[in-house]
Amino acid sequence: MADETKPVQVKQEPIDDSNMSDLTSLIQGVLQQTQDRFQHMSDQIIRPICCSRIRSNSRLPRTEGVLSSANPSTSSLLSAHSLPIMHADRTNPFFYLFRINAFSSYVAVVSQCSLLVGCTAPPLHRIYNMGADNSKAPRGIRNIEAADAVAFIKRFKTETNGKDKMNKEQFLKTYPIFRDYGPKLFFQLLNNEPQVSLSTWLKTIDQAMGHFDTLAAVLHRCFGEDKNVIIGNVVKIYCAELEMSRQEQVLLFDYFDQQVSDELKKPEQIERFLSACPLFAYIALFIFQRVLEKPGDSKIPVLSEKSAIFGTIDSLIINSHLPFDRRKEWTLLYSNQTMGHSFSQMVKRVNGEGPVLVVIRSEKKIRFGFFASAGVHAGPQYQGSAECFLFQLHPKLVTYSATGRTDNYAYLNYQQQTLPNGMGLSGRDDIWPLFIREEFDSGTCQKNSSFYEPCFVAEAEEFKIKTIEVWRPGNKPQKTFEEQVEMAEKSEKSVIDKDPEARAVLEMAGKSMHSEAYREPAPLLSDE
């Protein structure tokens, strides 16, 4: 990378020392947009660029400077080029780092780096107008965007008539999101003072927007040591914000309560819970995003149509177990209520359409199903990986992960003489954790299959199908070149198809068609 990058000679213009404060504001503004992404950039990419820019300016002085310790990657990056660092005011990271005559070269460095990391540096015509807003950025705030922090402070001071302290009445009025827990939260936030301070409240929210360890500390401080209080209030606030029913609130609470294997008396215990159940962390984060007056991400997928089986909480929980690129939107591929109760109709709509969620309501009102990570493809081959899982929605809302003891996952076949005809997961012959027969009126379920966590999702070895839906989470995957070639090869007819007379002669001679049972199934007849 270093050999390919050519130093860009930047014409330097003398700048009067009176503009030193403008330079400080400039550097802060530029750094604000790039510092987060600098942390993740490889020194192999950024160092050669910085090196070439710095070396192009032979007059770069060894002057005292300040670099934020909160940005270790940038600190090590610049110190690698013998730039002296003095850790002082962390809110002013590049104060006096360069003399004014090195200004143009440094702007070129940041601009080049910002292009590589995918963010945009401020246009040069705005540089000298920066300052007032950025210079007021609160200290120690790492996770909240500057604009959101400024808006938060403005709202706080508007309600307190410009003061940095907020009393109970003002707090409840300003943050109604906490509802009946608001008074308790107000007293939890007091730091041996009669009122909540702006700095305390803002830093609390900033920590909540960080990693699991800091979020755990915030939950411990705001909601105490009782796991029912922590889970109950987070769920209640979340559901109320999204206008969910009391029944949905209870369902979500029960799900999280089942995930807790320990007490939540200490931040370390809460952190372990968040690591084991990231969905709870996302829900807590959603609440603090709303405190910042941001829409927040509810983690509820957008369904293309209303489901007759999935409820809101059902889809939220199942969605949290899907691959990350499959969590935004779900598309209904098949429903026996609106597209005809026919196995052939279902196969036409789901075959080769990408990853699918198959969900069933049995005659006994049990709701259950499975996720096929690579979808289903008609034929003798199994599809998918250990990302496949089984689930039950009612009477319990729970998922069951694959154990990795098999490579056989999603299966779909029909019109075969020796192979199973139907759709299922990780089975063979008549033994399946879950299987839907080609007749499409019933299915089978094996209890405690070794291929998945112990479960009995249908709660019966034989079940009758009342309602069935197939959803595709995310977009349909694009076929690779190899898959397109394979499809073209499969479309070619076999010898016995091309020459019916040869087939007849072989049959008259008593020659068996050994490959007949393993051939691709014939095209389905239309039910319409």
* C-alpha to C-alpha distance for 455 and 72, rounded to whole angstroms: 47
CA dihedral angle for residue 41, residue 47, residue 49, residue 53, rounded to 10 degrees: 140
What predicted TM-score, i.e. pTM, was given to this entire model? 0.68
168 pLDDT exceeds 60? yes
- Cis status of the peptide bond prior to 61, with omega within 30 of 0: no
Confidence at 191, pLDDT banded by 50, 70, 90: confident
More confident residue, 516 or 82: 516
In a domain, 510, yes or no: no
Q: Check whether residue 131 and residue 156 sit in a common domain.
A: no
Helical segments of 95-226, H only: 103-117, 132-135, 146-159, 168-174, 182-189, 198-208, 212-223
> What does the pLDDT read at residue 97?
40
The confidence score (pLDDT) of residue 105 equals 46
333 and 449 both lie in a single domain: yes
Give the residue-averaged pLDDT of 116-128: 40
How many domains are contained in the chain? 3
Residue predicted with more confidence, 510 or 332: 332
| Within-domain flag for 1 | no
For residues 381 and 242, membership in a common domain is answered with: no
- Residue 515 — pLDDT band, cuts 50, 70, 90? low
Q: What is the DSSP string of 186-197?
A: HHHH-SSSSSEE
Answer whether residue 496 shows pLDDT above 70: no
One domain, residues 151 and 131: no
What average pLDDT does the segment 514-522 reach? Answer: 53
Q: Same structural domain for residues 249 and 336?
A: no
As a whole number of Å, the end-to-end CA separation of the chain is 61
The percentage of residues in the chain with a pLDDT greater than 70, rounded to a whole number, is 66
What distance in Å separates the CA atoms of residue 432 and residue 455, rounded to the nearest whole number?
12
- Interval 8-59: pLDDT, tens: 454 444 545 445 555 555 566 555 555 444 444 444 444 444 444 433 343 3
Six token digits for residue 250: 């209870």
The answer on pLDDT for 526 being more than 60 is: no
**CA–CA gap between residue 491 and residue 488 (Å, rounded):** 5
Minimal CA–CA distance to 473: which of 345, 363, 339, 372? 372
Tell me the residue ranges of DSSP E strands in 265-355. 302-303, 329-335
- CATH code where residue 263 lies: 1.10.238
Q: Specify if 396 maps to a domain.
A: yes
Tell me what pLDDT residue 192 has: 76
Mean pLDDT (whole number) for 259-264: 90
- Are 323 and 349 members of one domain? yes
Do 243 and 275 share a domain, yes or no? yes
8 Å CB contact between 420 and 428: yes
Q: Are residues 131 and 213 in the same domain?
A: no
Confidence class of residue 490 from pLDDT cuts 50, 70 and 90? low
Q: What single-letter DSSP state applies at residue 450?
A: T
Are 181 and 129 within one domain?
A: no
Q: Which residue has the higher pLDDT, 528 or 460?
A: 460
State how far the Cα of 317 lies from the Cα of 332, in Å rounded to an integer.
18
Banded model confidence at residue 478, pLDDT cuts 50, 70, 90: confident
Give per-residue pLDDT as tens, 424-437.
999 888 899 999 99
- Per-residue exposure over 355-382, b if at least 16 CB sit within 10 Å of its own CB, e if not: bbbbbbbbeeebbbbbbbbbbbbbbeeb
One domain, residues 207 and 259: yes
Once rounded to an integer, what is the mean pLDDT over residues 176-200?
93
pLDDT at 36: 47
Cis ω before 301 (30° cut-off from 0): no
Residue 84 included in any domain: yes
Give yes or no for residue 370 having a pLDDT over 60. yes
In a domain, 130, yes or no: yes
Contact status, residue 122 vs residue 29, Cβ threshold 8 Å: yes
Residue 226 has pLDDT above 60, yes or no: yes
Look up residue 300 and give its amino acid: I
Closest CA to 70 of 99, 91, 84, 95: 91
Helix spans in 324-419 (H): 343-350
Residues 342 and 454 in one domain: yes
Q: For 264-302, how does the pLDDT look when each residue is reduced to its tens digit (9 = 90+)?
A: 999 999 999 999 999 999 999 999 999 999 999 999 999
- Tell me whether strands 442-444 and 329-335 are parallel, antiparallel or unpaired: unpaired
Helix (H) or strand (E) holding 312: helix 312-320
What average pLDDT does the structure give for the chain?
Answer: 78
Structure tokens at 373: 């990570």
What phi, psi does 380 have (nearest 5°)? -80, -10
Shared-domain flag, residues 377 and 450: yes
Whole-number pLDDT of residue 140: 84
Domain boundary at 104, 135, 166, which? 135
With respect to residue 11, please indicate whether it lies within any of the assigned structural domains: no
Q: Is residue 424 part of a domain?
A: yes
**What pLDDT digit, counting tens, does each position of 142-158 carry?**
999 999 999 999 999 99
Identify the CA nearest to 375 among candidates 331, 341, 342. 331
Is residue 510 very low, low, confident or very high in pLDDT (cuts 50, 70, 90)?
low
The whole-number average pLDDT for the span 97-105 is: 41
| 383-437 per-position pLDDT tens digit | 999 999 999 999 999 999 999 999 999 999 999 988 999 999 998 888 999 999 9
Q: Which domain holds residue 124?
A: 17-135
Q: Is 507 within a domain?
A: no
